[in-house]
Amino acid sequence: MKKKRRTRSNNFARILFILILCALPVILGKVLWDTMRPAPAEEADLRPAAARAGYFHALVKVEGVSADRLERYNAYYRAGFGLSMDEAVELVNWDVDILCPNGPDERIFELAQDKFFVGRNLSRYLAIYDGNSQNVRAVVEKVNASRDRIAYADIEPTDLSKGIMVLVNKYHYLDSSYVPDDLVSAASQYCQYSSAKLRRPAYEAFVKMAEDARAAGYIIKINSGYRSYSTQRSMYNNYVAGHGKAEADTFSARPGFSEHQTGLAIDMSTPGVGYWSFGDSAAGKWVHANAHRYGFILRYIEDKTDITGYIYECMHFRYVGVDAATVIHENGITYEDYYEKYVK
């Protein structure tokens, strides 16, 4: 029994030895191959790429992510400022990683509380924000209205693709050749003088408002609607001749910078009441309270003359549609605030 067992175990050792002998070249070959073959270039980055992939996978679920900013989100998120992924995305979208490479400034979070804060204006807000949180609204409002720029100097052609939401002010102008393509002549009963033209949507809204006003006992008319570039030029030049340029600029727009050239603005009037007294008349008060329901806003409001750059114009209304007019009326803001936040 003993001898037989020994023989069997010898056989087993022999077979094992032969097997190892056969496998050895294969194992050695594999080791040599792994050591000597050149590593593919992309393998060098494999580990960081995998880490990024995990981050990016989570990132695509965050709102407002832009593909060309992925590396910047990643870098700011991992910079050790304790930001959540959503915060990192939002701040980078506002270029805070460039403005504040050492971590976001407390002032940014204060400014962002404002209802009409717009991220792309952040560097301009910061340039005039003194850090007193009482002033946040004034800062946002001022920049949104371009009042940190020089009127009639820092100018740009307005974006006509915005249609009835077009912005015209002392920083955004219309070409001298611009004439709206849907001007209609107002029926004579709506005109204070012999005629007036408006863009069709503004005219239709005005007619509806004038009819409702009439039903309520008030007569409202169009004192002035669309004005061409050349008409505005003559008017402005007359005002400059009579009042001097500085004063004329407070109540009359330079040619190309007038909302009347859009065909969407109306100076309203009521019979027997002077141009500048419309707002105090019963008809004017009705219009001030109701115009937004028809899509009109009082454009140059009393407590925002520093923001609009115009004195209070109780008769000048601008058509922007009912939705925008309602938001603007209810918040007591200028059209510039609305435009920056929702239209631009």
Name the residues annotated as catalytic.
313
Beta carbon nearer to Zn ion, 172 or 316:
316
Minimal CB distance residue for Zn ion: 316
Distance CA 286, CA 209 (A): 10
Tell me the closest approach of the beta carbon of residue 316 to Zn ion, in angstroms: 4
In contact, 164 and 323? CB cutoff 8 Å: no
Stretch that binds Zn ion, among 19-27, 185-193, 304-312, 315-323 (CB under 5 A): 315-323
Distance CA 304, CA 310 (A): 8
Number of residues that bind Zn ion (CB under 5 A): 2
Beta carbon nearer to Zn ion, 122 or 168:
168
Tell me the closest approach of the beta carbon of residue 231 to Zn ion, in angstroms: 12
Tell me the closest approach of the beta carbon of residue 191 to Zn ion, in angstroms: 15
Distance CA 79, CA 104 (A): 11
Tell me the closest approach of the beta carbon of residue 278 to Zn ion, in angstroms: 11
Beta carbon nearer to Zn ion, 91 or 265:
265
Please report whether residue 316 would count as binding Zn ion according to CB under 5 A.
Answer: yes
In contact, 252 and 239? CB cutoff 8 Å: yes
Residue of the chain from 90, 114, 141, 267 that contacts Zn ion (CB under 5 A): 267
Beta carbon nearer to Zn ion, 114 or 267:
267
Tell me the closest approach of the beta carbon of residue 318 to Zn ion, in angstroms: 9
Beta carbon nearer to Zn ion, 108 or 307:
307
In contact, 108 and 100? CB cutoff 8 Å: yes
Please report whether residue 72 would count as binding Zn ion according to CB under 5 A.
Answer: no
Stretch that binds Zn ion, among 12-20, 229-237, 300-308, 316-324 (CB under 5 A): 316-324
Stretch that binds Zn ion, among 75-83, 106-114, 200-208, 313-321 (CB under 5 A): 313-321
Query: Which of 254, 194, 189, 264 is closest to 225 using CA atoms?
Result: 264
Residue with tokens 């792309």: 120
Tell me the closest approach of the beta carbon of residue 58 to Zn ion, in angstroms: 53
Stretch that binds Zn ion, among 97-105, 138-146, 266-274, 318-326 (CB under 5 A): 266-274
Beta carbon nearer to Zn ion, 58 or 311:
311
Beta carbon nearer to Zn ion, 108 or 266:
266
Stretch that binds Zn ion, among 133-141, 243-251, 286-294, 310-318 (CB under 5 A): 310-318
Tell me the closest approach of the beta carbon of residue 252 to Zn ion, in angstroms: 9
Residue ranges in contact with Zn ion by CB under 5 A: 267, 316
